[in-house]
Amino acid sequence: MKLQLSQDELEKNRKTIRKKMQQDEIDALCLFSSRGIFYLTGLYLIQTERPVGLLYDGVNTAAFVPALEVEHVKELGGVDEIISYKEYPGEKHPMKILAEKIENREVRRLGVDSDGYPGGYGYEGPALSDILDLDVEELPKLIENIMRVKSDEEIQLIKESCRWGNLAHRYLQDYTKPGKTENEISTRASLDASRAMLKTVSDDYYSPKGATMPASAGFRGQIGKGSAIPHALTSNKTIKEGQVLVTGASANVGGYVSELERTMIVGEPWDKQVEFFRYMVKAGEVALDAIEPGVSFADVDKKVRDFYREKDLMDYWRHHTGHSIGFDGHEAPYLDRNDDRELKPGMVVTVEPGLYVPEFAGFRHSDTVLVTKEGSEMLTYYPRDLESLIIPVS
């Protein structure tokens, strides 16, 4: 069972880019982003202080990697050629080695996703435009913009991600009990779901971005009062009766991800918890009802905000309705009242309006939703109702 983009799809991607290059009169493209390299080749390379990149002239692809990645790339395949350098910093700067290779190809106009390797981990290096005697055209959003509308294969991978995220979340809920700690529950759930996934699809499963633990579920500190802080970087809380929990689950399938989040309540919910839970679920329905092709991302968010205002809930608003998703966990466009871009069939978004009551609790479900010709299809399928999300005590 192969859960990766097919060679046909990658060939189609290269064709799309070749066409763009011809339109823009670009002779070669040099990409440093993981996304760009992946889109054209299916390869995913770790970015450290050692520069990695991809050169594409419309016909051949050449990976640009340090010596320590050469055998890795050969094994993975997906490129026609490998341009390698010994090490970073190196006797000659790796970017100069790359620049020479580009100059040898008689390129007049080079497209780049960033003017030089973006770096990190202490990397320092020149802009390509400073060391190349040719036109360098920055196209930072070239691949990102194309990838906004997902292909059928991409949608299949995202659906498969929803399936294994769902299992991880099911285990997470099953293992959640008062007295258990956050990391015990989430590790066990993530391991069990990942084991099931790997045993189902293949023991030798490979996925871009790594696949030791392809499926995962957890709380990220959103436990009890912590649930009121959407990006709590967790301490390791113990589950207690009366708490509101906000979860998160996903799976990496062929480099693609989905997002499933649920609000769970430990024991019999209090009235105030029930009230906010119901408003949050209703806000999600408002958003889901609004999603269809031709509508703007802004309009969906505006409807949710209208609902919040109508119910006098704006004090508990902390963020917009959702974001696009697929290759990255967050992508543009956003379901935000100031994002006027248009929903199109094949786009995939999260729907996750939340309510946050400081020093009390936070309430958020997140679902992954495909925009279809007819309207929308919810790809995640975990129960959204309160009764299904109560953790029994006793």
Site for a copy of itself in 3-42 (CB under 8 A): none
CB of 99 to a copy of itself, least distance (A): 18
List the one residue from 20, 159, 220, 365 that touches a copy of itself (CB under 8 A): 220
List the one residue from 127, 281, 332, 390 that touches a copy of itself (CB under 8 A): 332
Q: Which of residues 75-104 bind a copy of itself (CB under 8 A)?
A: 75, 87-91
Q: Does 382 bind a copy of itself (CB under 8 A)?
A: no
CB of 141 to a copy of itself, least distance (A): 7
> Contact, 109 vs 134, CB < 8 A?
yes
List the one residue from 206, 278, 381, 385 that touches a copy of itself (CB under 8 A): 206
Q: Which of residues 345-374 bind a copy of itself (CB under 8 A)?
A: 356, 358
Report DSSP state, residue 232: P
Report DSSP state, residue 178: T
> Contact, 262 vs 236, CB < 8 A?
no
CB of 93 to a copy of itself, least distance (A): 9
Q: Which of residues 272-311 bind a copy of itself (CB under 8 A)?
A: none
List the one residue from 6, 7, 238, 388 that touches a copy of itself (CB under 8 A): 238
Q: Does 261 bind a copy of itself (CB under 8 A)?
A: no
CB of 117 to a copy of itself, least distance (A): 14
CB of 4 to a copy of itself, least distance (A): 12
Q: Which long-range contacts (CB under 8 A, 24 or more apart) does 174-177 make?
A: 176/239, 176/245, 176/264, 176/266, 176/391, 177/239, 177/391, 177/393
Q: Does 195 bind a copy of itself (CB under 8 A)?
A: yes
CB of 287 to a copy of itself, least distance (A): 15
For residue 157, give both structure tokens. Answer: 């991978």
List the one residue from 101, 209, 302, 384 that touches a copy of itself (CB under 8 A): 209
CB count within 10 Å of CB 86 equals: 12
Q: Which of residues 116-155 bind a copy of itself (CB under 8 A)?
A: 120-124, 141, 144
> Contact, 163 vs 196, CB < 8 A?
no
For residue 45, give both structure tokens. Answer: 């390379």
Judged by beta carbon, residue 57 or residue 248, the one nearer a copy of itself is 248
> Contact, 20 vs 28, CB < 8 A?
no
Dump strand ranges (E) for the chain.
28-31, 53-56, 61-66, 81-85, 109-112, 135-138, 215-218, 244-246, 248-251, 263-266, 322-324, 331-335, 348-351, 354-357, 361-364, 367-371, 376-378, 390-391
* Single-letter amino acid, residue 220: R
Alpha-carbon distance 74 to 93, whole Å?
23
CB count within 10 Å of CB 23 equals: 8
Q: Does 270 bind a copy of itself (CB under 8 A)?
A: no
List the one residue from 212, 310, 373, 387 that touches a copy of itself (CB under 8 A): 212
CB of 180 to a copy of itself, least distance (A): 11
Q: Does 213 bind a copy of itself (CB under 8 A)?
A: yes
Q: Does 318 bind a copy of itself (CB under 8 A)?
A: yes
Piece of the chain touching a copy of itself by CB under 8 A; list 15-23, 54-62, 114-122, 153-161: 114-122
Residue 348's DSSP bridge partners are 370
